Amino acid sequence: MIIQQVLYCRHVSTATATATVTHTAALARLGHALSDSTRAGVLLALREAPAYPSDLADALGVSRQVMSNQLACLRGCGLVEAVPDGRRTWYRLADSHLSPALDELLRVVLYVEPGCCAGESCTCA
């Protein structure tokens, strides 16, 4: 029992030591982005494919002004980037690691709350 506690404490100390203030701030930004259902919906939609703000607004059932504000927040968090396309701008995830990370977070949600997505129509798992 004491050996397990010592090993656990060493593991926790090592894990804590590798998490810098920068890591903590980056994780907090991701948490902030995911704390709003519209922003979470945008991130999940963009993991499938880049999109124009008007298409995202229509798909998520929000106004274009709300979508503009949420995309500005996600840009500020460093999670999405705007790509000019003539007179329009489309959005994509800022890094290729985000899509599999969001997929993995969905799996965690399904583990924590298995009833949130059930049946044939669920595409999360």
Q: Which residues pair with 81 in a beta bridge?
A: 92
Asked whether residue 74 is domain-assigned, the answer is: yes
Asked whether residue 11 is domain-assigned, the answer is: no
pLDDT of residue 23: 87
Asked whether residue 24 is domain-assigned, the answer is: yes
Asked whether residue 5 is domain-assigned, the answer is: no
Q: 38-63, pLDDT tens digit by residue?
A: 999 999 999 999 999 999 999 999 99
Q: Look up residue 65 and give its amino acid.
A: Q
Asked whether residue 119 is domain-assigned, the answer is: no
More confident residue, 111 or 44: 44
Kindly tell me if the per-residue pLDDT of 4 is higher than 70. no
Q: What would the mean pLDDT of 61-89 be, rounded to a whole number?
A: 96
Asked whether residue 88 is domain-assigned, the answer is: yes
Q: Tell me, what CATH number does 38's domain have?
A: 1.10.10.10
CA-nearest of 121, 74, 70 to 102 is 74
For residue 117, name the pLDDT band (cuts at 50, 70, 90).
low
Asked whether residue 52 is domain-assigned, the answer is: yes
Could you list the residue range(s) of the whole structural domain that residue 36 is in? 19-104
Average predicted confidence (pLDDT) for the chain: 83
Q: What would the mean pLDDT of 18-28 be, rounded to a whole number?
A: 85
Q: Which residue has the tokens 């979508």?
A: 67
Asked whether residue 8 is domain-assigned, the answer is: no
Work out how many domains the chain is built from and give that number.
Answer: 1
More confident residue, 29 or 3: 29
Q: 88-103, pLDDT tens digit by residue?
A: 999 999 999 999 999 9
Q: How far apart are CA 60 and CA 55, in angstroms?
A: 9
User: Are the C-beta atoms of 94 and 47 separated by less than 8 Å?
Assistant: no
